[in-house]
Every structure is written in C-alpha cells, then in structure tokens.
Structure 1
Amino acid sequence: MSLFPFLQNLIDSDLLDRYGSQMLSGVWVTAKLVAISFSLGAVLGLLLAFARTSHLRMLRNASAAFIYVFRGSPLLAQLFLLYYGFGSLRDLWESLGLWWLFRDSWYCALLAFTLNTAAYQAEIFRGSFAAVSAGQYEAAKALGLSQRTCFWRVVWPQSLLIALGPLGNELILLVKASAIASLVTVYDLMAVAKLGFSRTFSFQFYLWAAALYLVLVEVLRRVLKRIDRRLGRHLNPL
C-alpha cells in the first residue's frame, strides 16, 4: 500500500484553501493568549513568592491559600467559574465598572490562565530562591551589600537559572491547556478546528490542530534550550 494516497486523504487541498488562513489566525490567538497570561502570571507569581517568604504571617497565609486553591482545582472549573459564574453578576460588575472584563470570553480566559499559572510559578520561584545556598547571602552581607542589592545582584540571577527548566515546562503545559479556551467561545486554534469539523465532519481539522500545537511546543522547546544554554554558559566553559 502506497503512503502517498494516504497522505493525500489527510491533506485535502480544498479544505486547506478554505480554512488554512483561519487555522493560522487561531494559532496567533493561542500564542497571544499564552504569552500574555504567562507574562502576567510571572509577575504575579514573583509577588506571591515574595509573600510566601515574608516575615508577615498574614501575607504568608494569604499567598499560601491562593496557591492552594488555584493549584488544587481544575483550570476548566476556574475558567467556567469566571465566565459563567462571575459573569452572571452583571449588576455588581457594572456598579464596579468591571463588566467589560467579565462579559468578554477573551478577558475571562486571560484572567483564568494568569491566575492559574501564577500559582504554579510562585512555587517555582519560591523553590528556586530556597535552592540558592545561604553562603551567597552571607558573602553579600560581608561585602556590605544591601538586602535589595543582594537579592537582585546575587540571588536572582542564580535562582532564575534554577527556575528556567520548570518555568519552561509550565509554559509548555499552558500552551496545551489553552485549548480549553474554545469552550467559552474564544476563537483560538482549537475553536477553529471544532468549527471546521462541525461544518465538514472531516477529522483532518483535529490532526492539523494537533500538528500546529506540536509546532508551537517544539519552537518553545528550542528557544528555551537556547536560553538555558546561554544563561548557563559559564557553567560549561568548554
């Protein structure tokens, strides 16, 4: 049996002409959603990591509760709660001037992904801070560096190198998890695939979507590997 006819059945040129641009548009929406939510989550996660290591008990408990809730509950449940649950409280959000946020599926998905990834990134950052040896802090104090300078000049560069691998894994997981945004009518890659399938009943759309997700993940993997090699070049001088 020849492989060429089989491949022809998987790639219908007519369907590709009709839906190819929409699939690429869906890739852009997915990439934008992941990039923004991961970046905002990194900022919030860093603040939560600081709170988790704070001397103030109230901050530690509040950040621990946030992390526990968003790591312990499904992302899909969080997304539905924000869009369908909080979105039903129209009068409240209009009085607070926040209805623009909860009426739009894009912003609800962005908020859900940001809060979820922030919880995971907070634990990654906290672990990377703890992995820096106490001798680094003592050496910085011996040199007369302030606590802020010690963190940003000594601790942060080392902890970032430690956290890079887990952060890369979290980013890749977020790319794959972003497919659920289609369930709240965000017109991302998976939504385009579902729309194409509903109109033609051709499973090719899901194969194309899977292939495009693989491409996104592979691009990220290569970029992260290059960054890791760049940041850790002093550890492997040869």
Structure 2
Amino acid sequence: MEEILNALPAFLWSDGSQLTGLVVTAKLFLLSAVFGVALAIALALLKVYGHPLLAWPVRAFSYFFRGTPLFLQLMLLYYGLSQFQLVQEGWQNENGFWLLFRDASFCAVLAYVLNTAAYGLEILSGALETYPREEIIAAEAYGMSRWQLVRRIVLPGALRRVIPVFSNEMVFLLHATALSSTVTLLDMTGVARALYANTYSPFFPFLMAAALYLCCTFALLYLFMGAERRWLAFLRPRQH
C-alpha cells in the first residue's frame, strides 16, 4: 500500500522526470477527439455532398478503420512502418516528417484520430442524409444556396442531433487510450503496468487505474448530458 500511495503522483501528473498518468491520458484524448471529429466532419461532407468518385475513397477509409482492430492499427503505425527502407532512410537523414513516426505520442494520436474519424463520419453522414426535409425546403424557399444551406442549417443541426451518439464514441475513445501503454507511453494504464512490474501486485495498480478511468467517464458523460440539455432542448416535447 505504501508503494501505491507513493505512486499516486505518477497516476495523476508526473513520476518526477516526465508527465505521466492522467495528464498523458487527457492529452491523448483531447488531441484525438478534436482532430478526429474535425476529420470526421470533413469526410462526412465529402461522402454526402462531394463528387461520387471522391466518395469511394472515403468509404474505403471507413471500411478499413472500422473493420480492423484499433490495436493492430496502432501496431502498424508505430512498429510496422519501421521495416520499410523509405522510413529508415528518412530517419537516417533526419527528415522531419518521418521522424514523427518515431514519436510514440504522435503515432498513438494518429491511430486514434483515424479510427475516431472512421466511426464519426458514418454517424454524421447518416445524420446528414436523414436530415428533416422540411427544414431544407424552408431554407431553399428563403433563397439559400446549397453551400449556405449546408453550412448554416444542415451541418449545425446534424451535429446537434448526433450528440448522444457521439458521447458513446468519445467514451470509447477515452477507454481506447489505454492501448497507449503498448507503445511505451506512461498513461494511466502504463503507470499501472510499471507499478505492477515493480511490486508484482496487479490488483491495486489496475484498480486505481480503473477508478480514474471511471471518474473520467462520469465527467465526460456529465458534459455531454449538459450539451444535450442545451442544444437538444428543441426536440423535447413541450410541457403544458
């Protein structure tokens, strides 16, 4: 128990030499969520409103990243690319682009962004395709162009309607960051694994990590519940 208490700072912010634990998990989650949702929006618009020839690569992207385990995607990015001569030469020549793939944080965020975008674009494209026709007709009658209609009416309305579904996707992303420990990152799971290696006691380190993930999940769901109350109030039945 003394080892666990001494390791508490490592679970939350630092082990004394680098950022670890909750801080690393939060950084991975926030970066992946922001860029993943942004990419999902762009790809969903391209799939629904873009040229049919451009929609095929988007579908292929979605099928690949939804049809393969996230763990394998992370392994391919961090460990798999290093076998190619082009990548090895880039590292030897200190090419800035290829050097990014030696950074575990970059590879982890990239894997999470691509995976989140694949699921997010399907959620959002479904909302765009099934958007209420009455609102579209009203916007067209008002004289809006197609781009104005999408930018001012359809996209904001679709984003509001998918908040409950996106909450599940964000919880999945939060839990998926636990895979970061497999690429040497000391997130909350990584700290638990390191503590287990030092103490040979798996129960308390992983229980502490589970408690932190549980707290983060409740906080995330609370934020989404607030967003639903604010931006989906117009869908609730009127109270007489």
Same fold (TM over 0.5): yes
| 2:88 paired with 1:90 | yes
Q: Percent identity?
A: 36
Alpha-carbon separation, structure 2, partners of 1:235 and 1:53: 24
Are the equivalent residues in 1 in contact too, given 2:25–2:188 (CA < 8 A)? yes
> CA shift at 1:91, angstroms?
1.1
Q: How does 1:51-66 map to 2 (within 5 A)?
A: 51-66=46-61
> CA shift at 1:235, angstroms?
3.2
Alpha-carbon displacement from aligned partner over 1:162-210 (angstroms, at most 9, x marks no partner): 1111111000001111111100101111000000011011220000001
> CA shift at 1:18, angstroms?
1.2
The aligned residue for residue 6 of structure 2 is 18
Q: How does 1:1-238 map to 2 (within 5 A)?
A: 12=1, 14-25=2-13, 26-88=21-83, 89-92=87-90, 94=93, 97-202=96-201, 203-236=203-236, 238=239
Alpha-carbon displacement from aligned partner over 1:68-96 (angstroms, at most 9, x marks no partner): 10000010100000000113432146575
> CA shift at 1:115, angstroms?
0.5
Aligned residues: 226
Alpha-carbon separation, structure 2, partners of 1:27 and 1:231: 29
Are the equivalent residues in 1 in contact too, given 2:178–2:189 (CA < 8 A)? yes
Alpha-carbon separation, structure 2, partners of 1:157 and 1:42: 14
Alpha-carbon separation, structure 1, partners of 2:166 and 2:50: 26
Are the equivalent residues in 1 in contact too, given 2:48–2:129 (CA < 8 A)? no
Alpha-carbon separation, structure 2, partners of 1:80 and 1:47: 26
* SS in structure 2 of the partner of residue 132 of structure 1: coil
The aligned residue for residue 18 of structure 2 is none
Are the equivalent residues in 2 in contact too, given 1:45–1:119 (CA < 8 A)? yes
